[in-house]
Amino acid sequence: MKYFIVIIGAIIIAFAFNFFLVPYGILSSGVSGIAILLGLITPFDVGLMNFVLNLPLIILGFVKLGKTITINTIGFVIALSLFLYVFPVVAITDNILLSTIFGGVISGIGIGLLLKYSGTSGGLDILAIIISRSSNVSVGLLLTAMNGVIVVISGTIFGWEIALYTLLSIYLTGKLIDTVHTNHIKLTMQIVTTEGEAIRNELLRSVYRGITITDGYGGYTNESKQILMMVVTRYETMQIKQIVRAHDQKAFINIFKTVEVDGEFAKD
């Protein structure tokens, strides 16, 4: 299912780029925006530039973030680069404002799906996650700063009117990502289990979150149990539940919304 979503997400994003943004020189956010820029000012194809620019970031992700996120990124980058190469660059509408709005919205839907089901859309996401984990500056703030540079470059090369359209496209993309991905929603998970140590070890290997563990016992059975508490983002809950069920089919999992987190919490 995850890899199917990666393909669908890549198709959606490539459609938004080649039919709405690229024909008017409007850039997207992240590495894809830089790829569009280079594709417009050089003879190289946007899909090829997207693949080449992502390669060093994929290697960096493998070193810093591990194998899983790297495999997800490679799959997406290859799929997006392929579809950008295959799809023709054709303007669906002759209205640049409509192209900006629909290009931003549609690409935001595609990226949001990728983040929701595979955890990354590659490119600057990887760099922002790495910086965020070492500095605790939010990924959103880091990506905003990086995309600001893209807007300035767009204005310098193509004129400030195009830069404003680029800014609008990036803003709409970000809003749709938040709507689809919901990564910013924090949840608290309480796991009551008799296999606390095994679950703890696998969670620490697989999920970048802290765990608080307390001892307890069943009120009816008097059986000793461990209670694991974690604050996570919404898209991580499915992975955590799968890990728990692999070790304890009878574990009790309580999930509730967290209003505020005050303290160290990685914002990826």
pLDDT tens readout for residues 168-186: 988 888 778 767 765 556 7
Q: What's the pLDDT score for residue 268?
A: 47
223: number of Cβ within 10 Å: 10
200 and 109 belong to one structural domain: no
Are the beta carbons of 228 and 199 closer than 8 angstroms? yes
Q: What is the CA radius of gyration of the chain?
A: 21
The 3-state DSSP composition of the chain as helix, strand, coil percent (nearest 5) reads 65, 10, 25
Here the tokens at position 26 are 């409007």
Are the beta carbons of 122 and 70 closer than 8 angstroms? no
Sequence-ordered list of residues with C-beta below 8 angstroms from that of 222, at least 6 positions apart, any chain: none
Are the beta carbons of 142 and 266 closer than 8 angstroms? no
- Mean pLDDT (the chain) is 81
Are the beta carbons of 266 and 199 closer than 8 angstroms? no
CA distance 69 to 186: 21
Residue 216 confidence (pLDDT) above 60: yes
| Among 1-5, 127-131, 138-142, the least confident range | 138-142
Output the domain CATH number for residue 241: 3.30.70.120
164 and 241 belong to one structural domain: no
- The verdict on residue 266 lying in a domain is no
How many whole angstroms from its chain centre is CA 1? Answer: 17
Residue 82 confidence (pLDDT) above 80: yes
141 and 230 belong to one structural domain: no
Range of the domain at 132: 2-181
Residue 122: pLDDT band (50, 70, 90) is low
Average pLDDT over residues 93-122: 83
Residue 136 confidence (pLDDT) above 70: no
Residue 73 confidence (pLDDT) above 90: no
Q: Is the pTM of this model over 0.75?
A: no
Nearest to 117 by CA among 209, 10, 211, 31: 10
Are the beta carbons of 220 and 212 closer than 8 angstroms? no
Here the tokens at position 54 are 């992502």
114 and 219 belong to one structural domain: no
- The verdict on residue 133 lying in a domain is yes
Q: What's the pLDDT score for residue 251?
A: 92
Are the beta carbons of 82 and 44 closer than 8 angstroms? no
Q: Is 170 helix (H, G, I), strand (E, B) or coil?
A: helix
Side-chain half-sphere CA neighbours of 78 within 13 A: 7
Residue 129 confidence (pLDDT) above 90: no
51 and 141 belong to one structural domain: yes
Residue 145 confidence (pLDDT) above 70: yes
The number of distinct structural domains making up the chain is 2
105 and 146 belong to one structural domain: yes
β-strands 186-193, 212-217 pairing = unpaired
Are the beta carbons of 240 and 203 closer than 8 angstroms? yes
